[in-house]
Amino acid sequence: MIHVRAVLAVSLLSSCINYEINATFPKGTDEDAADTAAPDATTDVTGETGGSDLDTATVPSDGDGTACSWGGWVRDDDCGGGWVGTGADGDVTLTTWSPVSTTLTADVVGTTLPLADTTGIRVDDELLLHDARTGRWANARVRALDPVVVGEAVSFSAGAVVQRVPHYRNVSVEGDVSGARIVIRACGTLTVNGRLGADGGGWTGASATSGIPEVGTQGESERGAGGAAQEANGTGGGGAADSTRYHADGGGGGHATAGGTGGDCGAPCLGTGGLGGAIIGEASLARLYLGGGGGSGYLDTDAGSGSLGGAGGAGGGLVYIVAASTEGPGTISADGAPGEDGVWFGNASPGGGGGGAGGTVWLHGPVSLNVSALGGAGGMGSEAGRYSTLGGAGGDGRIRIDGAFSGTASPERYPACPE
């Protein structure tokens, strides 16, 4: 059982007020007129792939008298003024992450959401809808329950994740807090004293190879589970192949950059490493993708009992935070997991697994800490302890920061706002 320690506030900060939701989508440089126009109190703002539910009469000011966009599904003209939510969930100390999360049980085009589970969802909650296969996403306000009805029509396929977004006041992160999708609004300060991340929360890496002989398996990706093939599975790394009896390593998962090709020991081995996963998405994060999983290593005919071709590492997941201030000595991350080493007994030649690709981190508001979305390293393969090689490394993920930033970002961030 995952636990969250929280201290609920009796009263809210003056900036944490009742709200209406603007479900506009990020545009990058492709904003349309409906999104750049300043809405009035009776006009909805329609996004690229979804609508909105905005009543600007209850949207707070950003300090200079102009209406803020809702919570950092941010338009370029809102830099520095992104909105941070209601604070209705109070102050909290996070030691683990246990979101209210479910899935759509059927395709939906409209305002009624067919959910697998409605436990924990309340009227006026914000929901994030995310289809990891396509990267499409939307935010929506709950208007009614049994069934769940939202304020603006959405269009998503069955299986899309629907997750409640907490609106905290002040947040303290202690220890290693991780999950597949971490989405938070905080109208006060979010302080990270340990690590807040979605490391390994993306597409899964291929399982360890145990058959003799056996070609490695592709990592999971937006295309689904992989098969026994050297080619990449979209962003999933390819499995190692071998035309002889010697080892080769799995390919790394891809995302912002392609995954690395798995190694092999060349002559006299003649093994062939799995290919790296493909590039997907764009720096502005118009769509939110997870990191591709790494492929697994080849296992040869001489493998002794218990030998394994190394499993691929899982890709990084999604972190999205809107806060008045995000700071601390800790780190926010969505790193890919490393591939596992091959395990050899006897005269075995197991290959190593490919690393998972980095995921997605999007932060809105002033940020003063370190941020990471790197790919995992490849696992080691060997020929009975000789000819050591490595699985392909996972590709980099993506980082976007909308606000003043002091710290390090690995890889380089996309600075959506002037500094």
One-character DSSP codes across 107-141? -EEEEEE-BS--TT--TT-EEEEE-TTT--EEEEE
Distances (CA, A) of 272 to 12, 64, 221, 237, 393: 60, 61, 22, 13, 16
Greater confidence (244 vs 382) lies with 382
Give 346-356 pLDDT, tens digit per residue: 666 788 999 99
Name the band, by pLDDT with cuts 50, 70 and 90, for residue 270. Answer: low
pLDDT at 243 over 80: no
Cα(417)–Cα(63) distance, integer angstroms: 17
Q: What confidence score (pLDDT) does residue 385 get?
A: 57
Q: What confidence score (pLDDT) does residue 418 get?
A: 60
Give 182-229 pLDDT, tens digit per residue: 999 998 899 999 999 999 999 999 999 887 667 889 999 999 999 999
Name the band, by pLDDT with cuts 50, 70 and 90, for residue 272. Answer: confident
| DSSP structure string for 337-367 | PPPPPPB--BT--PPPPPPPPP-EEEEES-E
Q: What confidence score (pLDDT) does residue 97 get?
A: 97
Q: What confidence score (pLDDT) does residue 267 get?
A: 59
Give 195-208 pLDDT, tens digit per residue: 999 999 999 999 99
pLDDT at 47 over 70: no
Q: What confidence score (pLDDT) does residue 212 get?
A: 66
Determine contact, residues 377/340, Cβ cutoff 8 Å.
Answer: no
Give 76-115 pLDDT, tens digit per residue: 333 443 467 888 898 999 999 999 999 999 999 999 999 9
Calculate mean pLDDT across residues 284-298: 95
Cα(84)–Cα(81) distance, integer angstroms: 9
Cα(311)–Cα(58) distance, integer angstroms: 51
Determine contact, residues 408/333, Cβ cutoff 8 Å.
Answer: no
Q: What confidence score (pLDDT) does residue 178 get?
A: 97
Name the band, by pLDDT with cuts 50, 70 and 90, for residue 298. Answer: confident
* Percent of all residues in the chain with a pLDDT value above 90, rounded to a whole number: 60
Q: Which residues contact 78 (CB under 8 A, 6 or more apart)?
A: 62, 68, 69, 72
Name the band, by pLDDT with cuts 50, 70 and 90, for residue 313. Answer: very high
Name the band, by pLDDT with cuts 50, 70 and 90, for residue 388. Answer: confident
E strand residue ranges, 157-244: 161-165, 167-168, 171-173, 176-178, 181-192, 195-197, 241-242
